[in-house]
Amino acid sequence: MRLSHWFTGRGDSGITDLIGGRRVKKSDAIITALGNIDELSAELGACRAVLGHDHEYSTILHDRQKELIALMGCLASGFDFKCTHFIDEIIKKLNEKIQMPSEFIIPGCNKVEATLNISRTVCRRAERSVVAAKAGEDIIAYLNRLSTLLFILTVATKDCKD
């Protein structure tokens, strides 16, 4: 989608537009969910910046950012979002390579792991807000899988050096 100008002024009264022209209060649950997903995408961008854009996990995260943009469009318009299978495949491949921990991980081993853990918690918040907005189960499932993927990546990077 190409943006035609920087602002419209239509949101100055606390009301905003959804795809399709429906107007809702900025305090509406759907707007909260969209904001949390937007924040999640920004956090994934921070992870990519810390990882370095040539790292294999950076590509995984960048692809998820693109999916999140599509997910926000589906959430704002009421369309279905069927992308969970992409994450399922990645999780299967990583599970073959990475041994899961036998105890809880305290975040903060290094910058990469810490930013991934922040992203994971933002993802969980986004998931809760999507549930509160009564969005489709396909969107909830996607965010649930994404948080699992982010957890696996935190395990994979806990021994990385900054």
pLDDT tens track for 31-59: 999 999 999 999 999 999 999 989 999 99
CA-to-CA distance for 74 and 82, rounded, in angstroms? Answer: 10
Percent of the chain with pLDDT over 70: 94
Q: In Å, how far are 15, 33, 46, 69, 89 from 132, measured between CA atoms? A: 19, 8, 27, 20, 28
Lowest mean pLDDT among 19-28, 95-104, 122-131: 19-28
Percent of the chain with pLDDT over 90: 67
Enter the pTM of the model. 0.89
Q: Is 145 exposed, middle or buried (0-12, 13-18, 19+ CB in 10 A)?
A: buried
Q: 44-52, long-range: CB within 8 Å, 24+ apart, which pairs? A: 44/68, 44/119, 46/115, 46/118, 46/119, 47/112, 47/115, 47/116, 47/119, 50/111, 50/112, 50/115, 51/112, 51/157
Lowest mean pLDDT among 2-6, 91-95, 108-112: 2-6
- The distance of Cα 79 from the centroid of its chain, to the nearest Å, equals 18
**Mean of all residue pLDDT scores within the chain:** 90
The yes-or-no verdict on residue 145 having pLDDT over 90 is yes
Per-residue pLDDT band at 12 (split at 50, 70, 90): confident
The CA angle 138-34-27, to the nearest 5 degrees, is 125
If one compares 20 and 121, the residue with the highest pLDDT of the two is 121
List the structure tokens of 49: 């910046």
- Structural domains of the chain, with CATH: 15-157 (1.20.1200.10)
What pLDDT score was predicted for residue 1? 52
CA-to-CA distance for 66 and 97, rounded, in angstroms? Answer: 25
